[in-house]
Chains A and B, each alone.
Chain A
Amino acid sequence: MHRLKKIFATDSYIVPIVAVIMGFIVGAIVMLIGGYDPIAAYSSLFQRVFGSSYDFGEAIREMTPLMFTGLAVAFAFRSGMFNIGADGQVLIGMTAASLVGIKLSGMPTYLLVPLAVIAAGLAGGLWAGFAGYLKAKRGINEVITTIMLNWIALYLSNYIVKNFLLLEGQNRSVDNPASMSMTFLASAFDNARIHWGTVLALAAATFFYLYLWKTKQGYEMRAVGFNPHAAEYAGMNVGRNVVKAMFISGVFAGLAGAGEVLGVFHYQSIFAASPGYGFDGIAVALLGLTHPFGVILAAILYGMLTYGSAGMSFGADVPPELIRIVIGSIIFFIAAQGIVRWVLKPFYFKRKKEKVS
């Protein structure tokens, strides 16, 4: 309880909340300029999310991969790296889940599903770990390698689907028998595509927290993230930590891929362009201040906004792209905290004055 009080006493939590509010205000102003009714738009946004149990379930489905990719980007950030390649890692995770699920379909489900999930995590981890390895061994900027690896992942996945998993005459793989769907919840959510990935994502966030702040290895990783030189002087192996951090980051992203293939679609499409999970993940990680629980909250917000944006265009005729402006503005205000503090200043001032009197 004492701790909780301390948390709310610090203004590090006020800034993101104010930033969210300011983001919504910017969105409203943009809508007004475009001749739309922001109140109608926002209310239809939330109506869409909370309006029916199906939509609510689907909104959760929307949040799940965001949680994973948000955690992926945040984890790398904490270790001093910018993983802009979560997108490719998701794709590689999907492909691994598809390969295992489809090619080993003879196995009993209780083995097949975990195996496919593990394969997805491992594949995503190795894909990101490779970028970590290049950084550790050759000093190559991970931003550029992960961007390159995104494209390679896209084409490699398409190649594998096309040549080994293709459903004849379609632009997708055959159906994947390994299913992560939570069928027992289907009736509660009116057949919304709820799956175990969500539970896994929450577990991943818990792991993130415990690992980084409670274990010896997490201590090392944070030290490397804050100050690799001091970490090296203290006898830590910086290179190994860089690879490990990228690997874990990639595992999170790979699991997002497993959730999408095994829990939502039950097949894998051939993508014409990058599906964009990773880039959303960057936004979620920044929104969540790269703290695992913050990331979960941010994913919930982000998922609600993107899922609800369709309702906005339906209910108030507002183009759903508006929501990207809102999200972009929120991140802008979080990044440039000076602006938020500047806005808050009169309030702080007033509060202090009141205390004096």
Chain B
Amino acid sequence: MTDPAGRITGLVGALRAHGVRIGTGETVDAARAVEALGLADRDLLREGLAATLLHGAAQRAVFDPVFDLYFPRGVGGPDGGPTDRETLRDRLAEALAADDGASLARLAAQAVDGLGGYGSSPRSDGWSAYQTLERLRPQTLLARVRDDLRARAGDGAFADRLLDDEIRRRIEEFRRLVGAEARRRVAERRGRDEIARRGVRPTADRVDFLFAGRDQLAELRRTVQPLARKLATRLAARRRRAARGTVDLRRTLRSSLSTGGVPMRPVLRRRRPVRPELVLLCDVSGSVSGFSDFTMLLVQALHDQFSKVRVFAFVNRLDEVTGLLDHGRADPEGLGARIRDEATLTGWHGSSDYGMALGEFAERYGAAVGPRTTVFVLGDARTNRSDPNLPAVREITRRARRVYWLNPEPAGQWGTGDSVAPAYAELVEMHECRTARQLGGLVGRLLPV
């Protein structure tokens, strides 16, 4: 393998581009690790570089595909001529039944080579994992592999009822291998630096809420608890800082009278010992539900930081869902569906109407907001051309300690089409909040302590 130092630098650059913070100290350690481990065994190298460069388990999801590009399994296509689709499917079925990782990797390479190529001119050609999998359709092998295994084992064993899920996981692993192989081949053509930045899926916390798929949302839900713990630490630190207090100038001067007017001891202002209250107003309509569901779960996980948390959901009507959220701890993935089932969120049409919903809040639940309350409104402020009802927002800001608006759309799109974001942003502090990472930062900064 040529120039390991160059590869480490490239790898580090790509990881940094994905938001992994790596200092020069770690880079030096990585080089020493490569020296100590040698280049012969890729698996050891992978673990050694991960140990020196990463600081947390979540970073591994982006590290592995990037590593595969800078320290690839090999160069070029697989040995031997092209393999046709039916032969590939037969071999794949066997490898899945045997749970043979090495075979799966070899077959992934053959599949991409045989089925994944597109284009013919050197500038527009490449390899596509999507096309490979569409043609090969590994998921359709499930029944065949299961029957094969059942026939071999003789039936009746209890663990056989796990078989379907086990095979599904192996197929999932094969799909991942195909993705990695296609990226490797494309990187040979277009340069690994570019593919490592654009072709590797960012960690879930950097995916736009508005575009996150089902599995990414599921991955995000699993990060709620760790993120909440991190934020709790941060809030505690802010609370400690705030408790130290600011200098009370008047009282400092008054007490300085005993020292001849020279202020010897600063008098610190005492802080209110009560914890703040939080109210959440969440647009849960289809377009932004991924964002609001995640935020609600996060706030639920942080509820012991506040003396009171109340959560309201709306589409064009608004209803309190605090109780649903409370019971939702056991089943976070069902939260959104439960809210949409059990709360009254729509009147005689199904699209968002911020004006109606905010008006209903001010009217029916105005008492939920007092001088200790911080209000967060979550939504894209796309109100389907109905009246934004600015007076209702003014009324809420008048009663609350603070009002913030978190908008999952890029700030560049505020005010386009039916978005009334700029009008609301004149009345309340509005922040762009597109990803879980951004949300974590905002929540850590804006939540009252």
Chain A complexes with chain B: no
Which residues in A have some Cβ–Cβ distance to B below 8 Å? none
| B interface, CB within 8 angstroms of A | none
